Chain A
Amino acid sequence: MSMSEELNERRKLSRREFLELGAAGTGLLLLAGCGGGQGGGGQGEIVVGSVLDQTGPLNIYGEPMQDSTKLAVADINNKGGVLGSKLKLVSYDAQSANEKYTEFANRLALQDQAVVIMGGITSASREAIRPVIDRTNTLYFYNEQYEGGVCDKNVFCTGVVPSQQLDALIPWAIKNIGPKLYVLAADYNYGHISAEWVKRYAEKSGGEVIGTDFIPLEVADFRSVIDDLQGAQPDVVVSLLVGGNHIPFYRQFASAGLGESMKIVSPTFGLGNEQVVLAPSESQNITVAYPYFQELDNPTNKEFVDRWHKTYGEDYEYITDSAATVWNGWHLWAEAVEKAGSTDKDKVTEALESEITFDGPSGLVKLDGGSHHLIQNVHIAETNENKGFDVIDSQQSVPPSYEQEVCDLIANPNEKTQFTP
């Protein structure tokens, strides 16, 4: 502390310093030995793990996903669990911080001894988890829409990918609205890759992308974009905008009255409950494509929605596609475990690769063994007056064609990469 202490030329450890160093070192060793955490499962319970963002900016996506996780595990347990044992869910809140994904995935694998880890919202969080599950040899499900292309033996992706959504949506748009497309994309990986897909599918269907704007995730001001649109006068505006800051686009679009001359289609609108935030008059006539909508009319979904509202209240804002994806993920895994007769990772993986199916709220879903992605229905819907969507078209069992094309983990189990077009 006082700098003149050392002028004594006693360049030996002073007693204080010695004590400080000693205390620090001992404390470190002691604390290191201490345990902590939620502990393993009880008698006959199978521990399963989940890491999601319940707090922080990503909680728009995370909350419905967490709610679905809890409901799914409860559902499986109600039907008797797996292999006669109940599931014990250990879930962590990564607080929208990537390093926490690394930490918690590690903890789930090593301390809690979870037999499967489900989680991750952004691709960044998925990429934080992947090295951990690769190292600890743990099974991992990524249950969220993303830009596609992941090819890893330990990873299963149940979310809808661009090759499914856009392959359905873009041809529909060109046929029903017009051939001139203008793309607005969030300026990051998902946006760039999806924009590339839009171009390809547009060309395939006889349309043309006449302009593309990339908007950073933090930007909330779309005046320049509105100007560009007014200048280019496209038939279709393809919105690949993501996040709370991009919601103003729809408002500013409606406010500038552009809806009269062009229509918006989007594979991302609704995932963050944008239609809840906007007033119905501001989100008119937006067409989206997802596997799941709360309004889907089939018995499985009716039961699902009922159960959801009973648990979380009738006034729950909207059950997002992500929630349904999570639900699918858990049930697919449970089925695979039953089929494999064990929770051992390799056996379960083998079962998963043997074309497991599940009848979920979005319809029948089937895991494609080679690509580890889902073959699922894609519905096209339009925003309605009730902060929801009206389904106007359906495509059954749309395969993840790009992933199937580039990734075959049965033939090449050592592949560990993410393909991009």
Chain B
Amino acid sequence: MSSGTEATTADRKSLAGILRRLPLEVAGMVIIVVVAALLPAVVPEYQALQWTQWILYGLLALSLTFIWGHAGIFSFGQVAFFGIGGYTYGITAINLINRTGETFSAVLAAVVVAALAAAILGYFMFYGKVGDVYVAIITLATTLVLFTFMESTAGPKYAIGEALLGGYNGMTGIPTLSYGWPGSPATPLSVTQTLAIVVGVAGIIAFGLHILLRRPFGRIVAGLRENEDRTQLLGYDIRRHRLIVFIIGGSIAGLAGAGYAAWGMFINPAVFSLQQAALVVIFVLVGGRTSLLGAFVGAILLQSLSTSLGGSDSVFTPIILGGVLIAVVMLLPQGIVPTVSAIAQRLVPQLRPRPPQLPVPTSPPEQLPLPTKSDRVSPQSGPLEAIDLRKSFGGLTAVDGVSLTFAPKGVHCLIGPNGAGKSTFFNLLVGRYRPTSGQVIFSGEDITGREPYQRVRQGFGIKLQVASLYTNLTAFENMWLASYAKIGNTKAATQRAIEILSWLDLIPQANHFAGTLAHGQRQWLEIGMVLATEPVVILLDEPTAGMTREETLRTVDLVTLLGKHASVVVVEHDIEFVRQLNVPVTVLHQGRIFAQGGIDELRRDEQVLEIYLGRGGDNVEA
């Protein structure tokens, strides 16, 4: 941290200081544009050609770093969009250049078509809830289909306008980047000018992503990467976020592809091969999956390595390259940039990230911070009803006709022996399962078909049995994501997050990673996150699992307090906890309602005891 006013004043007067005081976005762009403009003066032509290709590959790798390292989508298909962009540029440029006198419209076309392709593929995958590995395989298969298809488009009949697709040989005669006016002949950019533009554009895109990742969108995407379930249960539509990320990634790859076609004045189906697809992944891994800069480092390093090896009369090139890859995995598993960064931070204290300064309230609020001052649409509040819910899994009927009404305010407990169907019923309320028959009504509206995130938006707060937090984010960041989902304003969300943390007595842990918190603290943190979504219905699945006596007692207070403001449904095993709560209880058994009433009378009920202890009867099983 800067130490004292003298240093700051001197700093202020220097160029660096001035630059640093400009808004982030402007300062960054200025630096990039200046560097790009200087390049043609410094770089000799033959080298410029090489560098252009390397930076374009870096841009392609960047698209993967963004969607994978930051959003957790592992796509093997970035080269598909790269190639689509390249071919689109070729087709458009060949056909239009004589009419418009320029090729930048072709670049635009390439980006649009690539984005469209990404939208279609993304919709197909994400709205179909395809999981991680399968996204990889589907994107790979798509790439290979394009490869197979484009290879066979040889022959004069495979032409779009004046552009021959060219099959295996590829599309030739693609004009390089050119500018001009309709009616006049196009002026092609020189090699060094092309380099300048490519560097400038790549830099601006990289920087733009850097900024985006610090905005709320980027943080939601980070949450999505860290814990998909939790993000969904905070009310974010993860499918939409994934799709948007994928489209951005596809567009960037398409842009890089257009640049590549303009650079080589030629493109062929080899861009769709398995080797190329793997190469992008390798660039990203070598550079560092989480680092935007790493994408360029990885691409440039490996491409320059193979180029210089190609210049030696060596038959060992692939062996050396293979050895380098293995060495990177063994020695630098994080990739080059993160490893170097970590070392630098250790050696140079000024480079370490500062712990954030959070606006801590002077004294913790006494009352529960509910409801909020948010200006979003206030949620409906009406009773939650389950009407004759039934759920079968194949031959097993887990829930067999349960009808319950939960009052708009107050706590309601669900208990029952193992296998009673409590969890299944809970998941039906949450929306993770669809009932085989029956309905879930909320505030008079049939929400049976709604996804969990939609229910959360309507006012549900959900805490599942297994603590589901963003373990690699701090407690504060966890809470912020929860608050932002409801509030939609960065500052207000921050404030809210602080309030709730303070109320939970978790302020000392605010900057600790959630994974390092004690078990009980994690449960509370999660309950707090549920609160942040301003629920009118709160569903808790075994909130005291694994808690100590102390912690359980505090949870009783917490839940009671929640019950004053919302409809709380608690599924529990801990009978002592239920007793302390002193609220209406429903006993489930074999998927049906077995008994209802206060806990004390139920505990004395012979039949209830039987189903729990298995005394006589035919209901002993796990």
Residues of chain A touching chain B, judged by Cβ–Cβ distance below 8 Å, are: 1-9, 11-13, 15-22, 24-25, 28-29, 32-33, 35-38, 54-56, 91-95, 97-100, 102-104, 106-107, 109-111, 122-124, 127-128, 130-131, 187-193, 214, 216-218, 416-418, 420
Smallest beta-carbon distance B568→chain A, Å: 30
9 nearest CB pairs, A to B: A188-B168, A110-B46, A131-B265, A189-B154, A25-B35, A32-B43, A93-B310, A189-B169, A111-B46
Task: List 9 extra interface pairs beyond A25-B35, A28-B39, A36-B47, CB under 8 A.
Answer: A5-B356, A12-B23, A22-B31, A95-B310, A106-B50, A111-B46, A111-B47, A189-B166, A216-B152
A19 to B341, CA, bound (A): 12
Cβ contact of A18, chosen from B16, B265, B354, B494, cutoff 8 A: B16
Whether A131 and B264, one on each chain, are in contact in the complex, defined by CB atoms closer than 8 angstroms, is yes
Whether B168 and A29, one on each chain, are in contact in the complex, defined by CB atoms closer than 8 angstroms, is no
B315 at the interface (CB under 8 A from A): yes
Smallest beta-carbon distance B90→chain A, Å: 12
List 16 contacting pairs A-B, 8 Å CB cutoff, sorted by A.
A6-B214, A7-B480, A12-B23, A18-B20, A21-B207, A28-B199, A29-B35, A36-B308, A37-B311, A56-B318, A107-B46, A131-B264, A188-B167, A188-B168, A192-B155, A214-B152
Residue of B at shortest CB range from A26?
B35
**Hey, which chain A residues are within 8 Å of B35, CB to CB?**
25, 28-29
Whether A15 and B310, one on each chain, are in contact in the complex, defined by CB atoms closer than 8 angstroms, is no
Residue of B at shortest CB range from A130?
B172
A75 to B356, CA, bound (A): 72
A192 to B148, CA, bound (A): 16
Whether B480 and A4, one on each chain, are in contact in the complex, defined by CB atoms closer than 8 angstroms, is yes
Cβ contact of A7, chosen from B148, B218, B310, B494, cutoff 8 A: B494
Whether A3 and B167, one on each chain, are in contact in the complex, defined by CB atoms closer than 8 angstroms, is no
A29 to B31, CA, bound (A): 12
B605 at the interface (CB under 8 A from A): no
**Hey, which chain B residues are within 8 Å of A193, CB to CB?**
154
Whether B266 and A187, one on each chain, are in contact in the complex, defined by CB atoms closer than 8 angstroms, is no
Whether A13 and B20, one on each chain, are in contact in the complex, defined by CB atoms closer than 8 angstroms, is yes
Whether A12 and B151, one on each chain, are in contact in the complex, defined by CB atoms closer than 8 angstroms, is no
A78 to B53, CA, bound (A): 39
**Hey, which chain A residues are within 8 Å of B222, CB to CB?**
3
B397 at the interface (CB under 8 A from A): no
Name the prevailing secondary structure of the A interface residues: helix
Smallest beta-carbon distance B306→chain A, Å: 6
Residue of A at shortest CB range from B57?
A99
**Hey, which chain B residues are within 8 Å of A188, CB to CB?**
151-152, 154, 167-169
Smallest beta-carbon distance B34→chain A, Å: 8
Known interface pairs A93-B317, A102-B264, A104-B310; A7-B356 also in contact (CB < 8 Å): yes
Cβ contact of A15, chosen from B20, B53, B473, cutoff 8 A: B20
Whether B155 and A29, one on each chain, are in contact in the complex, defined by CB atoms closer than 8 angstroms, is no
Cβ proximity bits B151-190 to A, threshold 8 Å, 1 near / 0 not: 1101110000000001111101100000000000000000
B307 at the interface (CB under 8 A from A): yes
A25 to B51, CA, bound (A): 14
Whether A91 and B49, one on each chain, are in contact in the complex, defined by CB atoms closer than 8 angstroms, is no
**Hey, which chain A residues are within 8 Å of B28, CB to CB?**
13, 17, 21
B314 at the interface (CB under 8 A from A): yes
**Hey, which chain A residues are within 8 Å of B45, CB to CB?**
110
Whether A32 and B306, one on each chain, are in contact in the complex, defined by CB atoms closer than 8 angstroms, is no
Whether B317 and A420, one on each chain, are in contact in the complex, defined by CB atoms closer than 8 angstroms, is no
**Hey, which chain A residues are within 8 Å of B92, CB to CB?**
none
A133 to B317, CA, bound (A): 26
B490 at the interface (CB under 8 A from A): yes
Whether B310 and A192, one on each chain, are in contact in the complex, defined by CB atoms closer than 8 angstroms, is no
Residue of A at shortest CB range from B267?
A98
Known interface pairs A3-B214, A106-B46; A12-B21 also in contact (CB < 8 Å): yes
Residue of B at shortest CB range from A51?
B310
Whether B19 and A127, one on each chain, are in contact in the complex, defined by CB atoms closer than 8 angstroms, is no
B24 at the interface (CB under 8 A from A): yes
**Hey, which chain A residues are within 8 Å of B19, CB to CB?**
13, 18
**Hey, which chain A residues are within 8 Å of B42, CB to CB?**
29, 32-33
Cβ proximity bits B233-272 to A, threshold 8 Å, 1 near / 0 not: 0000000000000000000000000001001111010100
B357 at the interface (CB under 8 A from A): yes
Smallest beta-carbon distance B292→chain A, Å: 10
**Hey, which chain B residues are within 8 Å of A192, CB to CB?**
154-155, 167
Smallest beta-carbon distance B556→chain A, Å: 32
**Hey, which chain A residues are within 8 Å of B172, CB to CB?**
127, 130-131, 418
Whether B151 and A99, one on each chain, are in contact in the complex, defined by CB atoms closer than 8 angstroms, is no
Cβ proximity bits B341-358 to A, threshold 8 Å, 1 near / 0 not: 000000000110110111
Cβ proximity bits B298-328 to A, threshold 8 Å, 1 near / 0 not: 0000000011111101110110000000000
Smallest beta-carbon distance A115→chain B, Å: 16
Cβ contact of A102, chosen from B16, B53, B490, cutoff 8 A: B53
Whether A12 and B22, one on each chain, are in contact in the complex, defined by CB atoms closer than 8 angstroms, is yes
A187 to B169, CA, bound (A): 11
Whether A16 and B353, one on each chain, are in contact in the complex, defined by CB atoms closer than 8 angstroms, is yes
Whether B311 and A124, one on each chain, are in contact in the complex, defined by CB atoms closer than 8 angstroms, is no
A370 to B468, CA, bound (A): 76
B103 at the interface (CB under 8 A from A): no
A110 to B27, CA, bound (A): 37
Smallest beta-carbon distance A242→chain B, Å: 10
A188 to B309, CA, bound (A): 31
Known interface pairs A95-B310, A124-B170; A103-B50 also in contact (CB < 8 Å): yes
**Hey, which chain B residues are within 8 Å of A94, CB to CB?**
310
Cβ contact of A19, chosen from B266, B351, B490, cutoff 8 A: B351
Whether A32 and B47, one on each chain, are in contact in the complex, defined by CB atoms closer than 8 angstroms, is yes
**Hey, which chain B residues are within 8 Å of A12, CB to CB?**
20-24, 27
B89 at the interface (CB under 8 A from A): no
A92 to B312, CA, bound (A): 7
A55 to B268, CA, bound (A): 20
Residue of A at shortest CB range from B16?
A18
A137 to B52, CA, bound (A): 21
Whether B350 and A15, one on each chain, are in contact in the complex, defined by CB atoms closer than 8 angstroms, is yes
Smallest beta-carbon distance A25→chain B, Å: 4
Whether B166 and A98, one on each chain, are in contact in the complex, defined by CB atoms closer than 8 angstroms, is no
**Hey, which chain B residues are within 8 Å of A24, CB to CB?**
293
Known interface pairs A124-B170, A216-B148; A98-B311 also in contact (CB < 8 Å): no
Question: Which of A32, A33, A109 has the most chain B CB within a 10 Å cutoff?
Answer: A32
Residue of A at shortest CB range from B357?
A8
Known interface pairs A32-B39, A36-B308, A110-B46; A3-B156 also in contact (CB < 8 Å): no
**Hey, which chain B residues are within 8 Å of A99, CB to CB?**
53, 260, 264
B533 at the interface (CB under 8 A from A): no
**Hey, which chain A residues are within 8 Å of B168, CB to CB?**
122-124, 188-190, 217
